[in-house]
Structure 1
Amino acid sequence: MTALAGQERGLIGARDVTAVVTGLGVVAPGGVGTESWWASVLRGHNAIGPVTRFDASGYPVRLAGEVSGFTDEEHVSGRLLPQTDRVTRLALAAAAQALETAALDPARLPDYAVGVVTANAAGGFEFGQRELQALWSRGSRHVGAYQSFAWFYAANSGQISIRHGLRGPSGVVVSEQAGGLDAVAQARRLLRRGTGAVVTGGVDSTLCPWGWTAHLAAGGLSTAEDPDRAYLPFDAAARGHVVGEGGALFVVEDGDTARARGADALGVVAGCAATFDPAPGTGRPRLLSAAELALADAGITPADVDVVFADAAGERAADRAEAQTLTALFGPFGVPVTAPKTMTGRLLSGGSAVDLAAALLALRDQVIPPTVGTRRVADDCPVDLVTGAARPARLRTALVLARGRGGFNAATVLRAAR
């Protein structure tokens, strides 16, 4: 028991808390709203397609996972529209869903009872691009005052807090794809310090020329033009990933408090861990330490895990490393593995949050969503990848894995509520 697990139990004033998820909101490629998106996932609907949010014809990569059917004016007031980037509008919609499904009315609670911790990896890229264009084409007087905060990573947390009057502890986590898991871990720490409930998760959106240029510079993108063959984790033909937008937000609260107010729990956040990449030459693959620590934090062994939601990089070396982690924990083909993000693309901080959402709903409905695109699992990736169609299964415990650029690794253990 080291690192995260030990630190959380050693917090000054920390109390023993069972962190349960009572609210969930998803805005992602394939569906605006949790149940709409989940139905799309279970159908195996691939929401990746040609970029429509800007003209991508001159770029070597022209596919993305876009949130279609999202009308900004339906989720954000006219007063707030000029102050916010698209990512914040998506986050506000997801937060409203999460609070509604949790049946949690912050106005009925003490002032500092509910906090907000979200993850965001890029800030308001589209907003910032517009302001930069105004600066260089028309001059500084045409840059609006909202540029001072609308681009910022913490804008989502701030705007959610303002809209719902959430005055408890707040913050933002920046750890790229691992961020959605890291934010939930931070929310659980806040519960242990006495906060009643936390709105948490991750949302990102970078589908604009400025964001696209950053993704291209970072590398790892698939240049395929067929959406069904662009993002193929663990496949021998894997050639990179596809970028998407959106994410998921949750209401996480103390289990005793949730029961006292009659709230239904979707699941339990049983274990969390975060690590950096192992030192070169150690021979340990990325994710292994994070996974081991999360299992230890949950008080379980690999034999207790019923399904793994993989990070699924879609790059041959990264896929091999994740397969090595899974083999070290469970043995070859030892546990069902899935990557529903193949239907949405990688959503930066929103990606691992959406995987958490999928894991919670899989536990609820006793079904493992499929991985689409991947046809032949590579010989050097001996994992039991769920492909083709959803797989019914008896599920009690799920392990969710995520890796972020810069060496971030995170793992979360979820347990069924009943």
Structure 2
Amino acid sequence: MVITGLGVVAATGMSAEEHWTALLAGKSGIGRISRFDPSSYPVTLGGEVRDFTAREQVPRRLIPQTDHWTHLALYGAERALADARIDPAALPEFEMAVVTSSSSGGTEFGQHEMERLYGQGPAWVGAYQSIAWFYAATTGQISIRHGMRGPCGVISAEQAGGLDAIGQARRLLRGESRLVVTGGTDASLCPYGLVAQLSTGLLSRVAEPERAYLPFDQRASGYVPGEGGAVLIAERAADARRKGRGYGRVLGYASGFELPGRPTTLPRTLRKALDDARLAPSGIDVVFADAVGDPRRDRVEADALAEVFGPGQVPVTAPKVLSGRLYGGGAPLDIATALLSLRDGVIPHTPGVTRPVGGIDLVRDTPRDAELRTALVVARGYGGFNAAVVLGRTDT
């Protein structure tokens, strides 16, 4: 499986190259939430896609039918297809599939319809409420818009679901599908969505953007929520070679689940991903960490990485501090970032971390040039999900 197209839409940029430039410059997209007045909430910061205007990026008839999260994904899919130089009309419709990840669904759309329900009555609730909030709405809209009638689905496993969708895409490419639109987006920066996220107790309540999200730092206080993600085009390696296209290969994938109060399964998941890629731990050149920003959870991840790779034996980075944590869209964005890192031979840094925890070689202060052939992307989801994907350069 080769990733041939990237469609990034995040607080750090509305294209892969814009996002990459922002990361290398340490330019943060974190700021005070502007989609509503957050002053009465304990969390006031978010990673908003501020330059996105739906009426300029999405067919107008779809805007009242779908949520902001779907608008972002439709834009991302258009960018990814163009990047891969794919014309869906030229391919057999049953050989194109769509598998995305979503954690929150159409939260903002659902909130507005509930406001109408309780404020004005059932007659004021729109017909599109029945589909716009649903987790599979984005997959369905991409499929319909581009005539993709192969296997379609959605993975809901919070942050880990973004990697699980890529794992499912690889399975489909081993069958009759020759192209899969995968990755995902999320968007829950609305009052209803923020309240739902607060229930986890993991959001940072720090009001200064430069101090709010500091994973693997002794001052860590949680994470900043964000919106957006990345839509990816996955094709069979033979097709990618024939066209001379490809950012990188998916070499390995694994997922796991852990129960509260039980030992973490993350080391086992990492080892299974390495085994699937037929690589030893020494064969990984950089790790893109889950980096939730919670001291206890960061310690668990740092210990898992040290157990598998050895303390400080592999560079670790978490550039998501500049975009916020994007739930179903976060891991696909990390995949896009890792592929750009492999392409250019540079590891983006983790800005803001000045008191790092021990046990890992965290890349901070500035980007680090390195000879990169492989990367490991780690994702953990609220509730016990975890997943890992091994990426390699196309010549790996």
**Superposition TM-score tier, normalisation by shorter sequence:** over 0.9
Give the counterpart letter for 1:60 in structure 2.
P
Which of 130, 139, 150 is the matching residue for 2:112? 130
Provide the residue aligned with 1:61 in structure 2: 43
Distance 1:29 1:290 in 2: 30
Secondary structure of 2:312's partner? coil
Deviations 1:251-294 (CA, angstroms, capped at 9, x unpaired):
1111112223x14110000000011016845x4x3421111110
Match of 2:266 in 1: 287
In the TM superposition, what is the alpha-carbon distance from 1:80 to its structure 2 partner? 1.0
> Aligned to 2:13, which of 8, 14, 31?
31
1:329 is matched with which residue? 308
Amino acid at match of 1:319: D
TM-score, structure 2 as length reference? 0.98
Q: 1:219-234 counterparts in 2 under 5 A? A: 219-234=201-216
Deviation at 1:38, TM superposition (A): 1.1
Q: Secondary structure at the match of 1:333?
A: coil
Partner Cα distance (2:319, 2:182) in 1? 21
Task: Report the secondary structure of 1:176's partner residue.
Answer: coil
1:314 is displaced (CA, Å) by 0.6
Q: Distance in 2 between matches of 1:131 and 1:149?
A: 12
Q: What RMSD over aligned residues (CA atoms) do the two structures have, in Å?
A: 1.1
- 1:192 maps to which residue? 174
| Map 1:19-418 → 2, pairs under 5 A | 19-260=1-242, 262-277=243-258, 280-281=261-262, 283=263, 285-378=264-357, 381-418=358-395
Paired letter, 2:184: G
Quickly say closer, same or farther: Cα 1:105–1:58, change in 2 above 3 A: same
Deviation of residue 194 (structure 1)?
Answer: 2.1
CA distance in 2, matches of 1:130, 1:278: 35
Quick check: 1:103–1:263 contact (8 Å CA) kept in 2?
Answer: no
Q: Aligned partner of 2:250: which letter?
A: V
SS in 1 for 2:61: coil
Distance 1:24 1:56, change over 3 A: same
In structure 2, list runs of 5 or more residues that go unmatched. none
1:364 corresponds to which letter in structure 2?
R
On the 8 A contact 1:286/1:321 being kept in 2, the answer is no
Q: Distance in 1 between matches of 2:314 and 2:290?
A: 15
Provide the secondary structure at the position in 2 that maps to 1:213: helix
* Percentage identity across paired residues of the two chains: 53
Query: Offset at 1:111?
Result: 2.0
Report SS of the residue matched to 2:199: helix
Whole-Å separation in 2 of the counterparts to 1:310 and 1:294: 14
CA contact (8 A) 2:346 2:368 kept: yes
Aligned partners of 2:256 and 2:265 also within 8 Å: no
Once the two structures are TM-superposed, the CA of residue 105 in structure 1 deviates from its matched residue by 1.0
How far apart in 2 are the matches of 1:110 and 1:248?
25
Moved more, 85-94 or 285-294: 285-294
Provide the C-alpha distance between the structure 2 equivalents of 1:71 and 1:215, rounded to a whole number of angstroms: 25
- Check whether the contact 2:108–2:193 (CA below 8 A) recurs between aligned residues: yes
Unpaired runs of 5+ residues, structure 1, are 1-18
What amino acid maps onto 2:384 in structure 1?
G
Q: State the secondary structure of the residue aligned to 1:68.
A: coil
Partner of 1:15: none
- C-alpha separation in 1, matches of 2:338 and 2:237: 19
Q: State the 1:109 CA deviation.
A: 1.1
- Which letter maps to 1:208? C
Contact 2:30/2:45 (8 A) holds in 1: yes
Tell me the CA shift for residue 331 of structure 1. Answer: 1.0
CA distance in 1, matches of 2:236, 2:77: 18
Which one-letter code corresponds to 2:345 in the other structure?
Q
**Residues 279, 228 of structure 1: CA spacing in aligned structure 2 closer, same or farther, 3 A cutoff?**
closer
> What letter corresponds to residue 137 of structure 1 in structure 2?
G
Whole-Å separation in 1 of the counterparts to 2:260 and 2:109: 38
Give the distance between the partners of 1:296 and 1:75, measured in 2 at CA.
41
Q: Which runs of 4+ in 1 moved over 6 A?
A: none
Q: Which amino acid aligns with 2:388?
A: A
- SS of equivalent residue, structure 1 residue 294: helix
- The equivalent residue for 1:13 is none
Do 1:61 and 1:221's aligned partners in 2 also have CA atoms closer than 8 Å? Answer: yes
- Once residues 222 and 261 of structure 2 are traced to their aligned partners in structure 1, the CA distance between those partners, rounded to angstroms, is 23
